[in-house]
Amino acid sequence: MNRKKFLIVLPVVVIFVLAGFILWKSRPLKGGQPQSFTIAKAWWPVWDTFQIGVRQRERFEKSFQTTFLQTEDYVSALNKFEKGTADAATLTIYEAILAASNGVPLKIVLLLDYTTGSDGVVAKKSIRSLQDLKGKRIGVEQGTIAHFTLLKALEKAGLGQTEVQLVNFDLEELQQAFLHAKVDAVGTYEPYLSELVHQGNGHVIFSSREIPRAICDVLFVKEAIARDHPEVI
């Protein structure tokens, strides 16, 4: 999501969160002592806005003692949810589907936003088209939304995974691999997308702008919590 889009979407998100707060505030709570509730999240402005909204929901705080587990990347946040360290997570729809496919009972309870250009593929400037990726080394953090975006880019180019050399890196290694020319392209997301363009002398050859509404950010929770506490969720 570029700056202009973000400035348009942010007020909508804030209004949405505040509206939700008003609705929740008007609903009765079940009795009982406050319970611990942990939400795993990575860095992203919309998720930070959501955290602020949660802090303002007095009704929510009376029924749960809420803790946010800040992680450095999507994989870490998802791992905390899957291993039971967190009761909920703010991630993309891709991670929600991945967790469900791994047998973790969950329920998506809130759509936070759609991304438009914030996920993409950065390549060396010598690579002028997606078709030029054939046979090239492409770095990606496998099992993340960046991996999904990269696969969509290859699909658009008419290339199969076996026609490129996919190299798995964690987020920090991924950036260094591109900056030190260990790979020809990488699949990643903002703010790393823009950083690699400026620092690594690369250019964006594919972004989520080309697959509108395919990627969205959501809040998902353990199925048991959604079932047992509908007055909050």
pLDDT tens per residue across span 11-40: 455 445 544 543 344 344 455 566 778 889
Q: What is the pLDDT of residue 233?
A: 67
Report how far apart, in Å, the C-alpha atoms of 165 and of each of 40, 133, 168 are: 32, 9, 10
Q: What is the pLDDT of residue 143?
A: 82
35: Cβ–Cβ under 8 A, 6 or more apart, which residues?
63, 64, 65
| Mean pLDDT in residue range 197-222 | 90
Residue pair 187/138 in contact (Cβ under 8 Å)? The answer is yes
d(Cα 67, Cα 54) in Å, to the nearest integer? Answer: 10
**What does the buried/exposed string (b/e) look like for 129-154 if buried means 16 or more CB atoms within 10 Å of the residue's CB?**
ebebbeebbbbbbeebbbbbbbbbbb
DSSP label at 227? H
d(Cα 192, Cα 232) in Å, to the nearest integer? Answer: 35
The 10s digit of each residue's pLDDT in 70-82 is 888 888 899 999 9
Which tokens in the block code for residue 206?
Answer: 């594919």
Q: Cα-Cα-Cα-Cα dihedral of 78, 83, 86, 88, to 10°?
A: 60
Indicate if the pLDDT at residue 9 is higher than 60. no
Residue pair 187/150 in contact (Cβ under 8 Å)? The answer is yes
Indicate if the pLDDT at residue 45 is higher than 80. no
Indicate if the pLDDT at residue 3 is higher than 50. no
Report how far apart, in Å, the C-alpha atoms of 129 and of each of 35, 149, 187, 191 are: 53, 16, 15, 23
The 10s digit of each residue's pLDDT in 160-187 is 999 999 999 988 899 999 999 999 999 9
d(Cα 17, Cα 111) in Å, to the nearest integer? Answer: 11
Report the percentage of the chain scoring pLDDT > 90. Answer: 42
Higher per-residue confidence, 7 vs 50: 50
| Mean pLDDT in residue range 222-230 | 86
Strand, coil or helix: 95: helix
Confidence of residue 57 (pLDDT cuts 50, 70, 90): low
The domains of the chain, with CATH numbers, are 3-115+215-228 (3.40.190.10), 119-210 (3.40.190.10)
Mean pLDDT of the chain: 82
Q: What is the pLDDT of residue 191?
A: 86
DSSP label at 126? T
Indicate if the pLDDT at residue 142 is higher than 80. yes
Q: What is the pLDDT of residue 59?
A: 58
Report the percentage of the chain scoring pLDDT > 70. Answer: 78
